[in-house]
Amino acid sequence: MRLTLTPRRVYFDLLTELGDHLVTGADILAQLIGSEPAERPALANRMRDVEHLADESTHAIIRHLNRSSATPFDRDDLYDLTSSMDDCMDSMEEATDAVVLYRIGELPEAVTDQVATLQRAAELTAAAMPQLRKMNGLEAYWIEVNRLENQADRIYRGLTADLFTDPQYLDSPAGVVHLIKIRTVVDSLEAAADHFEKVANIVESIYLKES
């Protein structure tokens, strides 16, 4: 099979594009968490549109990988980076859908804290993607994202403990059902934080290989 050459800059452009979609998705998620229930379906539709755009960027990178012999760094690392960024978006969309589909009203305040860490991680990730071109200024990025993930873990553990000790969730079958719905959202947000950390770890690995 004849291999074609794809300019390396195409990959950086698409990764930057994908990073920008993560920022938009995290911001929509923050808006949805802080909005009234009646406003949330429209925001969920916006999130779905952004997720589709992120999928298009992801698929474009994969198509280039499948048909090109020229990549800016290790092919497997590029694939893993792209896939993990897509996982970040998918988990944020899952949280958004859960809030709307389960018709969750008020959410615990700590959920806002979870989303704030995702917003910051998304901003850092988006800023890091163009820096992959020259492999500079990246160390502060993965250190901060790892710190944010540790912070997200603490928020998650505290929030989970609160859910399972708050009488409003435990004193009736309806309360238990509500707990399960909220836990679904909380788990999706925690998964998103984990995926952002994985992206940062992959970037660190790429940097160390290419330095």
> From start to end of the chain, where are the E strands?
none
pTM for the complete prediction?
0.94
Q: Which residues pair with 68 in a beta bridge?
A: 4
**CATH, range 8-210:** 1.20.58.220
Q: Domain boundaries in the chain?
A: 8-210
Residue 189 CA to residue 103 CA, distance in Å, equals 17
Residue 211 pLDDT > 80, yes or no?
A: no
Type of residue numbered 188: S
Looking at the chain, the number of H-run helices and the number of E-run strands are: 7, 0
Q: Look at residue 189 and give its three-state secondary structure.
A: helix
**What number of residues does the chain have?**
211
The two three-digit tokens of residue 97, written as one number: 């859908």
Residue 144 CA to residue 60 CA, distance in Å, equals 29
What confidence tens digit (pLDDT) does each residue in 163-200 have?
A: 999 998 888 999 999 999 999 999 999 999 999 999 99
Burial (Cβ within 10 Å: 0-12, 13-18, ≥19) of residue 6? middle
What confidence tens digit (pLDDT) does each residue in 1-10 have?
A: 344 545 778 9
What confidence tens digit (pLDDT) does each residue in 23-34 have?
A: 999 999 999 999
Instruction: Compute the average pLDDT of residues 110-124.
Output: 98
Residue 122 CA to residue 196 CA, distance in Å, equals 8
- 37-42 — which CB contacts under 8 Å span 24+ positions? 37/103, 37/104, 37/105, 40/99, 40/100, 41/100
